[in-house]
Every structure is written in C-alpha cells, then in structure tokens.
Amino acid sequence: MEIRVTDAPRVDWTGDALAIGLFEDAIELTGDLAQLNEKLAGTLKELIEETEFKGSAGSSAVTRVGAGSSIRKIMLVGLGKADALGLDSVRRAAAAIARLAKQQKSKTLGISLPVVNDDSAGTAQAIAEGLVLALHQDNRFKSESEDKGIKLEQVEILGLGGQDAAIAKAHALCTGVILARELVAAPANAVTPVTMAQTAEAIAQEHGLAVEILERDECEKLGMGAFLGVAQASDLPPKFIHLTYKPEGTPKRKLAIVGKGLTFDSGGLNIKVAGSGIEMMKTDMGGAAATLGAAKAIAQLKPDVEVHFISAATENMISGRAMHPGDILTASNGKTIEINNTDAEGRLTLADALVFAEKLGVDAIVDLATLTGACIIALGNDIAGLWSSDDTLASQLKAASEAAGEKLWQMPMEEKYFEGMKSPIADMKNTGPRAGGSITAALFLKQFVKETPWAHLDVAGPVWSDKEDGCNNAGATGFPVRTLVNWVLSQS
Ligand code: BES
Ligand code: MG
Ligand code: ZN
C-alpha cells in the first residue's frame, strides 16, 4: 500500500472511496462539503440522514455513490467532540477508515481528516500509523492466507501536502510495531531464546547495528546467577541479547532499553494452574519484543542518541534441574535472593539485565516487562504501569506515550512496601505479599539500579488485546514500541 500526501481539494478527488472525518454535533454541510454534496447529487446529505450519523467517536457510515460519479463510495467517520481532538483521534479514525476500505474492497482511497493542534507532521504520521497498523494481518500460522482478494493499493491523505517525511517516519515506526506484534503472537515453539537472538542478529545485519549475544558461560563469568537460575530448567540455551545503535559523531545522550524476554513462563515449580492463563505465556517476551521493535525503528530513524537494547532471554520451565522454591540465587551485583516463588521469574532475569545496562554508563534506563498479573488487576488491559525514581524521566515517558496513543499511568514507588520482601536468610525474597504485587515487583527491580535515572513499565495488560481497538487488531499490539521510539527521538 502506497500512502501519498496532497493538497488537492477534497471536492476534486477521484477514486474508489473518499473518507471524511466529522466532529460530533458539527456535521452541517457547509463550505466545500456543500459543494461535494451537490456534486454527488445529495448523497452526502442522504447518508447522514438515513444512518442518523452524528459524528460520535468510533461511528461510521458508508454508501455507494450513483453511477457515473468520480467517486464510487463515500465514507464518514465520527471524530467525537472537536475540543477533545488529539493525535489518537485521527490515528483511530484512520484505522476505522482502513478497515472500511478493506471491507468495501476499495483499491484507491482519499482521506480527509482535521489537522491536530496545527501539527501537520504529527497528524500525517498518526494517520499513516492508523492505516498501516489496522491493515496488518498475521497469516504466518495459517495454511492458507485469509487475506485474499482486492487490496487497498493507494491512499491519498488530503490537505497534508509536503508531509512526506512524516509518512516515511510512520512507515519506519510501523515496521518496529509489526515486528513486536509478530514476535509476541508467535507461539513458544516458534519464538525461543535462540530465535530471539537470531532476530536481534538479523536486525543488526539489516540496519547496521552492533550485536552481542552472551552465551550461558559468558553470563556465568559475569555472575548473572539470577538470570541463569531462571534458565536452568530449560532444554534451550539462554541468550543474553545486546544490540547497540550508535549515531555518527558524539551522541547527545546514551540510553538503555531493557525488555523482559521470557519466551514461555510455565511458572516453574510454582507452576501456573489451570485458569491462570498459562497458554498465553508465549506473550511473556512482550518487553523484549518491543525492545527489538524499537531497535528496528530507531535504526531507520537515526536519532542523535546512542541506544542499547538489552534482553536476558530464556524460558521458565520445569525439569530435574529446575530451581527449587527456597533456593538462594546471587545476582551480578552480588545481592542474594531467596526464591519464595519460581513464578516471579521476570524480575530475576531483569535484575541481571539492569546491572549490565548500568555498567554501560548510560544516562537513563527504561525497562519494560509483562511483569505482574497484579498490574492488570490495578490498571486493566489497556494501561501500563509506570514506576520511576526520576521525575524528569517519568515526564518524558508520559509525553512520549501521549503522542503515541499508548496509555501509561504512574504508580507509587512506596519504599515501605519493600519490608514485605525482607528475607531472614538472604538480602531479599523475590516476592512480597499479594497486596500491592506490582509495586513490590518494581521495588525489587530498583535494588539492581544504583544511580542511573531509571523507569519501569509493567506492560502485562496492553501487549495483548482480546478485541480490535483503534489501530490494534485482536491479538498482539506491539505496545509500547511507539512510546519508546518517541522517547528516544525526544532525547536527540
Ligand atoms: N509473566 C507473569 C505475569 C503475567 C501474568 C503476565 C498474567 C501476563 C499476564 C509473571 O512472571 C508472573 O508469573 N507473575 C506472578 C508474580 C507472583 C508470583 C508474585 C503473578 O503476577 O502472578
Ligand atoms: Mg511468572
Ligand atoms: Zn513471567
């Protein structure tokens, strides 16, 4: 699908389908819309009346235009109230339009949506993201593609002529989001620590990044006892992935992104019981997937910032070699951990990954992890939890997520709760009481970062969506690749 931008007036557009966004309670056919209505022999007015179209967010209406017209179909999408317009409104509207165009078998599409806050580049980018991401369909595991038939070939975004760079940026970003989606959606017999490392190598090769994969013995030398404790029951080798993007010259800043990379989480000997969603635990590498997705996008967008992409990838399995509940592990910063629950494994792998990231001397570290069911209980499936010891970093991430249309909510770093993690025999336990489970998980991670400004995103809910929503289709969402990329770009 080719996306173009043009300043051609919408009254003159010709092609299969013309899509127009309208605000709630502001659907009068005045100005050029009156002209268009006249040109289409009153079809626009009829469509609004017959479908009682009011412009509410998420609503849409479609009709065929009479034979002989220069447009075959006209589509209306509701944008909600004008004063609530944001980049995500146009991203969502574009996603709805893309789905309508697919359903209506349109090959050529014209889109007319309002510019958000005079930000033509941001608007063009959000529209392109909505189109590309809503049309992404994963057929890799079907014997026959379900994506047959007429395809949308060309889209023209009207009123945004000159915004070609924004479209190119959206395309680059979407390759990262789609990579993350495909990694998360793939089952644990397709995406393993070994294939994750291969994916990292492929990204490095294709986009000119440096890559280092540490094998088990190298991790041992670095003292990564927490990561290797989790990995020890798996028949697959653990892979510690480290990709580096370095701009030419001296970078403005050095950043690290660290993703939880559990390609399957059985729970270990504290095995996940029926009803716990064990069959969804292929998604437990969602953090690592978004980390690699961000790497792919950033490598193409080339900001003036050095970025390290890190994941300690493994599976949490059971076998005669499995760590026992009660075992004590020593992490690479020398801290000892009493394992009171083998299912709290993500924080163990992250512990060593965070120590590794800090040793690189970066200016900030952001980790992202499908870390706790408790975060889903707190914030639901659509919102990720954000914890940070640094207000500046927290604000940067909130701004990045806002523009991305990926929701974050800052949660408290309540030091007092760490009392629940005290161990009589080791420096700490790996789990605290049930109450506040996502907070104690964040406090645990904090033990492995000394001075560097650090933030933790618990993305257990939003990496997966049961239903289509905005530019997400049902399934893996690619959350929070767009936020990460926006954040990195904001630092250059
Ligand atoms: N991977 C899970 C968290 C999770 C749960 C992600 C549901 C997505 C959906 C994590 O490793 C885990 O098992 N966490 C435990 C922690 C508990 C043992 C303290 C949990 O949330 O139940
Ligand atoms: Mg677990
Ligand atoms: Zn897990």
In DSSP notation, 28-44 reads: ---HHHHHHHHHTTTHH
Q: In the predicted model, is pLDDT for residue 128 greater than 80? A: yes
71, 13 Cβ separation under 8 angstroms: yes
The structure tokens listed for 398 are 């909130």
405 DSSP assignment = T
Ligand 3 mean position to 111 CA, how many Å? 42
In Å, how far are 267, 288, 312, 342 from 238, measured between CA atoms?
17, 14, 8, 17
Q: What is residue 468's predicted lDDT score, i.e. its pLDDT?
A: 98
Q: In the predicted model, is pLDDT for residue 150 greater than 80? A: yes
Q: What is the pLDDT of residues 281-303, one digit of tens each?
A: 999 999 999 999 999 999 999 99
How does residue 63 score in pLDDT terms, banded at 50, 70 and 90? very high
3-class secondary structure, 112: strand
Which positions ≥6 away from 187 have C-beta within 8 Å?
Answer: 141, 282
Which positions ≥6 away from 7 have C-beta within 8 Å?
Answer: 158, 159, 160, 161, 162
Ligand 2 mean position to 412 CA, how many Å? 22
Atom of ligand 1 nearest to the CA of 430: 19
The DSSP line for 350-361 is HHHHHHHHHHTT
Ligand 1, atom 8: closest residue by C-alpha: 460
Atom of ligand 1 nearest to the CA of 276: 7
pLDDT more than 90, % of the chain: 97
The structure tokens listed for 69 are 């017209």
Residues belonging to the active site: 272, 347
CATH 3.40.630.10-classified regions of the chain: 175-490
Ligand 1, atom 14: closest residue by C-alpha: 372
Q: In the predicted model, is pLDDT for residue 147 greater than 80? A: no
The structure tokens listed for 84 are 């609530």
Q: How far is it, in rounded angstroms, from Cα 450 to Cα 355?
A: 9
User: Which of 372, 376, 457 to mutate to test ligand 1, by most ligand atoms within 8 A of the CB atom?
Assistant: 372
| Radius of gyration, CA atoms only, the chain | 24
Q: What is residue 66's predicted lDDT score, i.e. its pLDDT?
A: 85
Ligand 1, atom 7: closest residue by C-alpha: 373
In Å, how far are 79, 218, 290 from 481, measured between CA atoms?
25, 29, 5
Ligand nearest to the CA of 261: 3
Decide which of 1.10.472.10, 3.40.630.10, 3.30.70.1450, 3.40.50.2300 is the CATH code for 175-490: 3.40.630.10
Q: What is the pLDDT of residues 192-229, one digit of tens each?
A: 999 999 999 999 999 999 999 999 999 999 999 999 99
Atom of ligand 1 nearest to the CA of 262: 1
Ligand nearest to the CA of 430: 1
Residues near ion ligand 3 (CB < 5 Å) are: 262, 265, 284, 346
CATH 3.40.220.10-classified regions of the chain: 2-159
Atom of ligand 1 nearest to the CA of 432: 19
How does residue 175 score in pLDDT terms, banded at 50, 70 and 90? very high
Which positions ≥6 away from 149 have C-beta within 8 Å?
Answer: 105
Q: What is residue 145's predicted lDDT score, i.e. its pLDDT?
A: 81
Q: How far is it, in rounded angstroms, from Cα 31 to Cα 386?
A: 46
List, chain by chain if needed, residues with CB within 6 Å of any ligand 1 atom: 265, 277, 284, 341, 343-346, 370-374, 431, 437, 460
Mean pLDDT of 249-256: 96
Which positions ≥6 away from 492 have C-beta within 8 Å?
Answer: 247, 252, 253, 303, 304, 305
User: Which of 262, 316, 343 to mutate to test ligand 1, by most ligand atoms within 8 A of the CB atom?
Assistant: 343
How does residue 99 score in pLDDT terms, banded at 50, 70 and 90? very high
More confident residue, 313 or 69: 313
Ligand nearest to the CA of 280: 1
pLDDT more than 70, % of the chain: 100
Cis peptide leading into residue 412 (ω within 30°) = no
More confident residue, 78 or 27: 78
Mean pLDDT of 178-196: 99
Ligand 2 mean position to 346 CA, how many Å? 6
Q: What CATH fold (topology level) applies to the domain 2-159?
A: Leucine Aminopeptidase, subunit E; domain 1 (3.40.220)
Q: What is the pLDDT of residues 341-389, one digit of tens each?
A: 999 999 999 999 999 999 999 999 999 999 999 999 999 999 999 999 9
